[in-house]
Amino acid sequence: MYGTGLAKGLMLTLRHFVDSYIDDIRYGFRKYSHSVDNFGIRQGTQTKGVITVQYPDEKVAVPERFRFVPFLIVEDEYHPTRAGKDWCTSCGICAKVCPPQCIWIVRGNDPATGRPVPEPEAFFIDIDICMNCGYCAEYCPFDAIKMDHDYELASYDRTTHHIHDKERLSKPNSYWRSIAPTRAYEEMLARGTWEHKDAAKEARRGKSSSRSAPRPAAKPAPAPATKEAQPTPEPAVNAAPAPAAAAEGTTPWSEDDAKREERRRKALERKARRAAKRGG
Amino acid sequence: MDLNLQELNATEFPVPAELENNIAITSLSQLYNWGRRNSMWPMLFGLACCAIEMIATASSRFDFSRFGFEVMRATPRQADLMIVSGTVTKKMVVPIVRLYNQMPEPKYVLAMGACASGGGPFKEGYNVVSGMDKYLPVDVYVPGCPPTPQALLYGMIALQRKIDGQSIANGDDVPWYGAGSAEPTPVPVLGPDIIDPRQMDMIRRQAERAAQELVTLGLRELPAAMQMVPAKAAASAAAPAETAPVDGDALAFVLPAGGTPWTEAEDIREKRRLRALARKAVRASRRASTEEE
Amino acid sequence: MPTAAPAAPLTSTTIDGAIDHLQATYPKAVSADNREGYGGIIVESAQLLDVARFIRDELGFDYLSSATAVDYLGAGDHMEMVYHAYRSSGGGALVFKAQTERDQAEIPSLVSVWRGADFQEREAWDLYGIHFPGHPNLKRILMWEGFHGHPMRKDWREAYYEEEQKPFDSRWPGGHVHRAEEKNVFGKNVSYPREIDLSRLMDTSESAVYQSLGLGVDVERVMDKDGFETNELVVNMGPHHPSTHGVFRMVLTVDGETVTSLEPVMGYLHRNHEKIGERNTYLHNIPFTDRLDYISSMGNNHGYVLAVEQLLSLGRRYNQPTYRCEVLRVLMVELSRIVNHLWAIGFWLNDIGAFFTPVLYFIQERERILDFFEAVAGSRMMCNYMRFGGLFGDLPERIKSVSNLTNDRARDYNTIQFLTEMVSERIPRTIDELEQLLTQNEILIERSVGVGVLGAADAINYSAAGPLLRGSGVPYDIRRADPYSIYDELDFDVAVEDAGDMYARYRVRVKELRESVRILRQLLPRLEATKGQSIWADGKPGAYAPRVPLGEAYGRVENGKGELGYYIVSAGGKSGTSNPWRYHVRAPSFINLTPMGIMSQGYKVADIVGILGSIDIVLGETDR
Q: In terms of domains, do B265 and B227 share one?
A: yes
Q: What is the DSSP string of A200-263?
A: HHHHHHHHHHT-STHHHHHS-THHHHHHHHTTSPPPPSSTTTHHHHHHH---TTHHHHHHHHHH
Q: Closest-CA residue in chain A for B114?
A: A128
Look at B249 and C484; give whichever has higher pLDDT.
Answer: C484
**Cα–Cα distance measured from residue C40 to residue C44, given in angstroms and rounded to the nearest whole number:** 13
**Cα–Cα distance measured from residue C390 to residue C541, given in angstroms and rounded to the nearest whole number:** 7
| B2 assigned to some structural domain | no
Give C 87-116 residues with CB within 8 A of chain A.
none
Give A 249-278 residues with CB within 8 A of chain C.
257
Sheet containing A163-164, strands listed edge to edge, beginning at the edge strand earlier in sequence: A103-109, A116-126, A163-164
Q: Give the one of A53, A127, A132 whose C-beta lies nearest to B62's C-beta.
A: A53
- The pLDDT score that the predictor gives to residue C7 is 45
The domain boundary residue, chosen from B171, B189, B207: B189
Q: Which overall architecture, per CATH, does domain A70-200 show?
A: 2-Layer Sandwich (3.30)
| B226 assigned to some structural domain | yes
**Cα–Cα distance measured from residue C423 to residue C526, given in angstroms and rounded to the nearest whole number:** 14
Phi, psi of B141 (to 5 degrees): -110, 130
Q: Give the one of A45, A67, A116 whose C-beta lies nearest to C418's C-beta.
A: A45
CB C467 within 8 A of CB C562: yes
| B223 assigned to some structural domain | yes
| Chains adjacent to B (≥3 CB pairs closer than 8 angstroms) | A, C
Grade residue C532 by pLDDT with cuts at 50, 70 and 90.
confident
- The pLDDT score that the predictor gives to residue C263 is 86
Is A122 an interface residue toward C (CB < 8 Å)?
Answer: yes
A to C CB pairs, distance under 8 Å:
223
For the purposes of burial, counting CB atoms within 10 Å of the CB of A88, is it exposed (0-12), middle (13-18) or buried (19 or more)?
buried
Question: Which residues does chain C have within 8 Å of residue B119's beta carbon, measured at their own beta carbons?
Answer: 180, 189
Grade residue C204 by pLDDT with cuts at 50, 70 and 90.
low
- The pLDDT score that the predictor gives to residue C414 is 80
Is C393 an interface residue toward A (CB < 8 Å)?
Answer: yes
Q: For the segment C581-599, what is each residue's pLDDT rounded down to a tens digit?
A: 889 999 999 999 999 888 8
Q: In terms of domains, do B151 and B136 share one?
A: yes
Range in A40-49, B2-11, C483-492 the model is least confident about = B2-11
Grade residue B10 by pLDDT with cuts at 50, 70 and 90.
low
Contacts 24+ apart (CB under 8 A), B30-35: B30/B164, B32/B168, B33/B163, B33/B164, B33/B166, B33/B168, B34/B7, B34/B8, B34/B164
Question: Which residues does chain A have within 8 Å of residue B157's beta carbon, measured at their own beta carbons?
Answer: 56
Predicted ipTM > 0.90:
no
**Cα–Cα distance measured from residue C548 to residue C582, given in angstroms and rounded to the nearest whole number:** 13
- The pLDDT score that the predictor gives to residue B215 is 57
Q: How far is A169 from chain B (nearest CA, A)?
A: 15
Q: For the segment B134-188, what is each residue's pLDDT rounded down to a tens digit?
A: 888 898 999 988 899 989 999 999 998 888 888 877 777 777 777 666 778 888 8
Cross-chain residue pair A103–C175, CB shorter than 8 Å:
yes
Provide CB contacts within 8 A for C35, sequence distance 6+.
none
**Cα–Cα distance measured from residue C545 to residue A98, given in angstroms and rounded to the nearest whole number:** 12
Q: How far is A107 from chain C (nearest CA, A)?
A: 5
Q: For the segment A13-64, what is each residue's pLDDT rounded down to a tens digit?
A: 888 888 878 877 776 666 556 555 556 666 777 777 667 787 887 777 788 8
**Cα–Cα distance measured from residue C42 to residue B120, given in angstroms and rounded to the nearest whole number:** 40
A to B CB pairs, distance under 8 Å:
108
Burial B192-218 (b: 16+ CB within 10 A, else e): bbbbbeebeebbeebbebbeeeebbbb
Alpha helices in chain B (DSSP H): 28-37, 49-58, 90-102, 113-118, 149-164, 200-213, 231-252, 267-292
Cross-chain residue pair A95–C418, CB shorter than 8 Å:
no
- The pLDDT score that the predictor gives to residue B251 is 30
Is B60 an interface residue toward A (CB < 8 Å)?
Answer: yes
**Cα–Cα distance measured from residue B118 to residue C597, given in angstroms and rounded to the nearest whole number:** 36
Enumerate helices (H) and strands (E) in chain A, giving the number of each: 13, 7
Question: Which residues does chain A have within 8 Å of residue C360's beta carbon, measured at their own beta carbons?
Answer: 50
- The pLDDT score that the predictor gives to residue C508 is 93
Closest CA to C287 of A123, A101, A126, B125: A101
Question: Which residues does chain B have within 8 Å of residue C205's beta carbon, measured at their own beta carbons?
Answer: 91, 190
- The pLDDT score that the predictor gives to residue C120 is 92
Q: Give the one of A131, A154, A162 whose C-beta lies nearest to B154's C-beta.
A: A154
CB C413 within 8 A of CB C398: yes
**Is pLDDT at B254 greater than 50 in this prediction?**
no
Grade residue C203 by pLDDT with cuts at 50, 70 and 90.
low
For the purposes of burial, counting CB atoms within 10 Å of the CB of C504, is it exposed (0-12), middle (13-18) or buried (19 or more)?
buried
> Residue C68: which H helix or E strand, with range?
strand C63-72
Q: In terms of domains, do B69 and B148 share one?
A: yes
Q: In terms of domains, do B274 and B138 share one?
A: no
- The pLDDT score that the predictor gives to residue C564 is 92
Cross-chain residue pair A40–C412, CB shorter than 8 Å:
yes
Helix (H, G, I), strand (E, B) or coil at A79: coil
One-letter amino acid of B208: E
How is residue B73 annotated by DSSP? B
Instruction: For residue B88, give the CATH number of its domain.
Output: 3.40.50.12280
**Cα–Cα distance measured from residue B79 to residue B76, given in angstroms and rounded to the nearest whole number:** 5
Q: How far is C250 from chain B (nearest CA, A)?
A: 14
Q: Closest-CA residue in chain B for A68?
A: B144
Mean pLDDT for chain A overall: 73
Mean pLDDT of A117-144: 88
Q: Closest-CA residue in chain A for C162?
A: A101
Is A20 an interface residue toward C (CB < 8 Å)?
Answer: no
Q: How far is C194 from chain B (nearest CA, A)?
A: 5
pLDDT > 70: what percent of chain C? 90
- The pLDDT score that the predictor gives to residue A191 is 80
Q: In terms of domains, do B228 and B118 share one?
A: no
Choose from A125, A127, A128 for mutation: most chain B CBs within 10 A. A128
Grade residue C568 by pLDDT with cuts at 50, 70 and 90.
very high
One-letter amino acid of C146: G
| B20 assigned to some structural domain | no
Choose from B145, B159, B260 for mutation: most chain A CBs within 10 A. B145
Give A 82-141 residues with CB within 8 A of chain B.
99-100, 102, 126-132
- The pLDDT score that the predictor gives to residue B5 is 64
Grade residue A175 by pLDDT with cuts at 50, 70 and 90.
confident
How is residue C353 annotated by DSSP? T
- The pLDDT score that the predictor gives to residue A248 is 40
Cross-chain residue pair C364–B211, CB shorter than 8 Å:
no
| B10 assigned to some structural domain | no
Q: Tell me how many degrees the CA angle A135-A137-A142 measures, rounded to the nearest 5.
A: 130
**Cα–Cα distance measured from residue A171 to residue A192, given in angstroms and rounded to the nearest whole number:** 22
Q: In terms of domains, do B222 and B135 share one?
A: no
Q: How far is CA A173 from CA A73, C157, C538, in A?
A: 5, 43, 31
**Cα–Cα distance measured from residue C306 to residue C565, given in angstroms and rounded to the nearest whole number:** 10
Cross-chain residue pair C401–A64, CB shorter than 8 Å:
yes
Q: How far is C420 from chain A (nearest CA, A)?
A: 10
Q: Closest-CA residue in chain C for B234?
A: C164
Is A159 an interface residue toward B (CB < 8 Å)?
Answer: yes
Mean pLDDT of B279-293: 74
Is C214 an interface residue toward B (CB < 8 Å)?
Answer: no
- The pLDDT score that the predictor gives to residue C314 is 82
Choose from A71, A147, A158 for mutation: most chain B CBs within 10 A. A158
Choose from A14, A59, A66 for mutation: most chain C CBs within 10 A. A66
| B180 assigned to some structural domain | yes
Is A182 an interface residue toward C (CB < 8 Å)?
Answer: yes
Q: How far is CA C424 from CA A45, B281, C340, C518, in A?
A: 11, 72, 19, 10
The domain boundary residue, chosen from B189, B207, B240: B189
CB C275 within 8 A of CB C151: yes
pTM: 0.82
Q: Give the one of C276, C380, C575 whose C-beta lies nearest to B125's C-beta.
A: C276
Count of domains observed in chain B: 2
Range in A257-266, B46-55, C306-315, C398-407 the model is least confident about = C398-407
- The pLDDT score that the predictor gives to residue C230 is 61
> Residue A5: which H helix or E strand, with range?
helix A4-27
Q: In terms of domains, do B70 and B184 share one?
A: yes
In angstroms and rounded to an integer, the radius of gyration of the C-alpha atoms of chain B is 24
Q: For the segment C214-230, what is each residue's pLDDT rounded down to a tens digit?
A: 554 444 444 445 555 56
**Cα–Cα distance measured from residue C153 to residue C68, given in angstroms and rounded to the nearest whole number:** 13
- The pLDDT score that the predictor gives to residue A250 is 42
**Cα–Cα distance measured from residue C335 to residue C365, given in angstroms and rounded to the nearest whole number:** 11
The domain boundary residue, chosen from B189, B208, B228: B189
Q: Is the dihedral of CA C536, C537, C539, C545 positive or negative?
A: negative
CB B183 within 8 A of CB B271: yes
Q: For the segment A64-102, what is each residue's pLDDT rounded down to a tens digit?
A: 888 888 999 988 777 777 777 888 888 888 988 999 999
Look at A198 and C514; give whichever has higher pLDDT.
Answer: C514
Q: How far is C284 from chain B (nearest CA, A)?
A: 11
Question: Which residues does chain A have within 8 Å of residue B164's beta carbon, measured at their own beta carbons?
Answer: none
| B29 assigned to some structural domain | no
Enumerate helices (H) and strands (E) in chain C, giving the number of each: 21, 14
**Is pLDDT at B75 greater than 80 in this prediction?**
yes
Q: In terms of domains, do B167 and B210 share one?
A: no
| B31 assigned to some structural domain | no
- The pLDDT score that the predictor gives to residue A49 is 65
Provide CB contacts within 8 A for B90, sequence distance 6+.
B127, B128, B129, B188, B190, B193, B194, C189
- The pLDDT score that the predictor gives to residue B161 is 87
Helix (H, G, I), strand (E, B) or coil at C522: helix
Q: For the segment C63-79, what is each residue's pLDDT rounded down to a tens digit?
A: 999 999 998 887 778 88
Cis before C549 (ω within 30): no
Domain ranges of chain A: 10-61, 70-200
Cross-chain residue pair A129–B119, CB shorter than 8 Å:
yes
Cross-chain residue pair A100–B133, CB shorter than 8 Å:
no
Is A51 an interface residue toward B (CB < 8 Å)?
Answer: yes
Q: For the segment C17-56, what is each residue's pLDDT rounded down to a tens digit?
A: 888 888 888 888 888 888 888 888 999 888 899 999 998 8
Q: In terms of domains, do B45 and B74 share one?
A: yes
Cross-chain residue pair C401–A63, CB shorter than 8 Å:
yes
**Cα–Cα distance measured from residue A160 to residue B247, given in angstroms and rounded to the nearest whole number:** 26
Q: How far is A82 from chain C (nearest CA, A)?
A: 24
Q: In terms of domains, do B60 and B114 share one?
A: yes
One-letter amino acid of C170: S
| Chains adjacent to A (≥3 CB pairs closer than 8 angstroms) | B, C
Question: Which residues does chain B have within 8 Å of residue C242's beta carbon, measured at their own beta carbons?
Answer: 44, 74
Look at C363 and A25; give whichever has higher pLDDT.
Answer: C363
Is C152 an interface residue toward A (CB < 8 Å)?
Answer: no
Domain with B208, as residue range(s), is 196-292
